[in-house]
Amino acid sequence: MEIVVIGGGAAGLKAAARIRRLNDEAKLTVIEAGKYPSISRCGLPFYVGGMLQEPRNLLETTYGAVRDVNYFKKVKNIDVLTETKAIEINREKKLVKTVNKEGKEDEFSYDYLIVATGSKPVKPPIEGIDEDVEGIVHLHGVEDAERILDAWEEDAENAVIIGAGLIGMECAEALHNLDMNVTIVEIMDHILPTMLDEEIARMVENHIRAKGINLRLSSKVEKILNDGEKVTGVIINGEEVETDLVVVAAGVRPNVELAKKAGLEIGETGAIKVNEKMQTSDKNIYAGGDCVECIHLLTGKPVYTPMGSVANKQGRVIGDNICGIDSKFPGVLGTAIFQIFGMSIGRTGLCEREVDGAVVGCVAGADRFHFHPEHRPIRIKLIADKNGRLVGCQAAGLGVIDKRLDVAVSAIQMGAKAIDLTNFDLAYAPPFSTAIDLIIAAANMVDNKLRGLVESINAVNFARMLMSDEKFTVIDVRTEKEFKARSVKDERVINIPLSELRERVDEVPEEAILICQVGTRSYEAARFLTQKGKKVKVVDGGYAFFQPVLEHYGIEVGER
C-alpha cells in the first residue's frame, strides 16, 4: 500500500505515524514545502520571546530527539521530503506531481492520499502591506520568527501588531520581552472578539495595559509607511505612528489551492469539506488539520478552527481509517486557551451573544483555598441555554483555569445540564481547590437562575445603565470600609452593608440593583429582599467582573 502525505505538519505526520504503527509494510512518503517537518508553530512566540534558544527546540520530542528527516526515516521508516512542493494531484491516475528547491520535478503514485496543506496568514487590504521592505512580518513560520529577531538585533524599538486575536496576544508578550514598545491595533471594540464576551475581554485588556502594552481598539491600520528599505511607521485612524516593525496577526485561512485545482469539494467556510472519517469528496483522498472545516458540536454547522490539538486528533482518525479501523472525528467545541503576562485565558463552546435566552453564572474567587499560600484569583463565566444545558464557558485569571475549562468541555460535550455539574465529584484538597470549586459555584448560580431564585444584569448592561439618565437605585452591600475605599461615584448608588440589611430593609425601594465584590453577598441579599416582596437584580460577578468594564467606559470610581 502506497500512501502519500502532502504537508509535514501536525495532521500529516500524525496520520503517517499512526499508519506506521498499524501497518509496518505500507510505503509512506511525506511531501513538505518548508524546511522543517513537524514544526510546532504554536511555540513560535516562545522562540521570539527567548523561552526557546533555537528552532530545533520546536522539533524536539519529550526525550530530546529532533524530529528531522533522519528521525522519521530511522525511527518510523517514513520518507520525508522537505523543501518540496506538491504542485498537482492527478486523481484519475492517482499521482502527485512535485517540484523541489532545485526545480527538479517528480511524481509519486498513491493508493491513498492525505492532504494536510495547513493554513496561510490573512493579508488585510492595507496600503503598503505588499511592499518588499524589511519590517513587515506574518508570524507563521520559523523564517518569520527569525526576521523578527533580526529586526530586534538591528535595534528595533517600536512594534505594531495588527490584530488582537490569539497570535497577536502571544506575539505582544514576546516582543515586550525583547524590550520593544508594543502597540496592538484591533478593528473591533474589544480584544479577542471571536473568542470572548466583552466582560472577560476587558479583564485581559486591563491586565496587558498594566504591563505596558498600548491598545488601540476600534481602530484600523490604513497604511504602512517605509523609506524604500525599511518600515518607518503606520497610519492608524489618520494618525501617523512611528514603528520599526509591523506584525500582521489578522488570522489565517485554509490553504486549499491544490485541493481546489484537483476538484475536491470545498465547504462553506472556504476549507476542504470532509466527512466524519476525514474523507474528502474523493474516497481515496483524506484531509486534516488547518486546511479542513469541522462541525461545531453544539450548532451542527461547519466552522473553521485551526488548532494543533484538533489536527493531531484528525491525523489519528485518518490513519485508523486508511488501515481499516472504523474511526470518526465528531467535531469541535472551539476550545482555546493561552497565557499572557502570567494571566491564563480560555474558552469553549458558545459565547453568551450566540445563545438565545442564555443563562449565565459569573463567579470570582481563588483557584484553591484562600489560606493556601499559592492561591491565585480566577474568574469563570459559565453559559447554559434556557433549558439548562451547558453550552459555553470562559475563564481568566492568575490561577489555574485549564482544569476548570476542561471540566466544562467534558460536561458540554457529554450534553450535561447545569444541575448535573453541580454534583460532579471533583478532586478536592486545599492545595488544589476550594471545597466547592468555582466551576461548580458557577453551575450553582446558573441553576439558581433557572429555578427563578435570582434575577441578574450583566456587567456591560449595568455600565450602560449608569451612563444613562435613567432613574434607579443601586445598593452596594459591601462593608462601609469597602464602599468608601472604592465604589462608583453616582448618587444612584448607596451603601447598605449586608450585615445591616435586615435592620434597614425599609430603606430599600421596591426595585433595586444589588452589587458586592464577587456576587456572593448580593445573592444572599437578593434572596432576603425577594422574600420581603422587593424586586431586585444582582450584578453578575460583582465588582470583580464590573470593574474592568467600568474603567473601559470611563465611569468614575474612587474613594467616597
**Which among 413, 452, 460 has a CA at the least distance from the CA of 190?**
460
The grid coordinates listed for 96 are: 502527485
DSSP 370-391: TTSTT--EEEEEEEE-TTSBEE
**CA torsion angle 47 50 55 60 (round to 10):** -90
- The span from the CA of 392 to the CA of 411, in Å, is 10
Q: Where does residue 453 fall: left (phi above 0), alpha (psi -120 to 50 degrees), or beta otherwise?
A: alpha
Q: Compute the Cα dihedral for 129, 130, 131, 137 and give only its sign.
A: positive
Annotation marks residue 42 as catalytic: yes
Alpha helix positions (H), 323-431? 402-413, 418-421
CA distances (Å), origin 512, targets 465, 529, 537: 13, 10, 7
DSSP 188-238: SSSSSTTT--HHHHHHHHHHHHHTTPEEE-S--EEEEEESSSBEEEEEETT
Question: CA angle at residue 185 from 180 to 188, to 5 degrees?
Answer: 155
- The span from the CA of 85 to the CA of 161, in Å, is 30
DSSP 236-285: ETTEEEE-SEEEE-S-EEE--HHHHHTT--B-TTSSBP--TT-B-SSTTE
- The span from the CA of 310 to the CA of 328, in Å, is 13
Amino acid symbol at 361: G
**Which among 120, 122, 118, 94 has a CA at the least distance from the CA of 108?**
94
Question: Would you say 254 and 307 are in contact if contact means Cβ atoms under 8 Å apart?
Answer: no
Q: Which residues have C-beta within 8 Å of that of residue 262, sequence separation ≥ 6?
A: 88, 89, 91, 282, 285
DSSP 298: T
**Catalytic residue chosen out of the listed positions 42, 171, 291, 351:** 42
133-157 as b/e: b if 16+ CB within 10 A: bbbbbbbbbbebbebbbebbeeebe
- The span from the CA of 465 to the CA of 379, in Å, is 23
CB atoms within 10 A of CB 234: 23
The grid coordinates listed for 557 are: 470610581
Among all residues, which ones are annotated catalytic?
A: 42
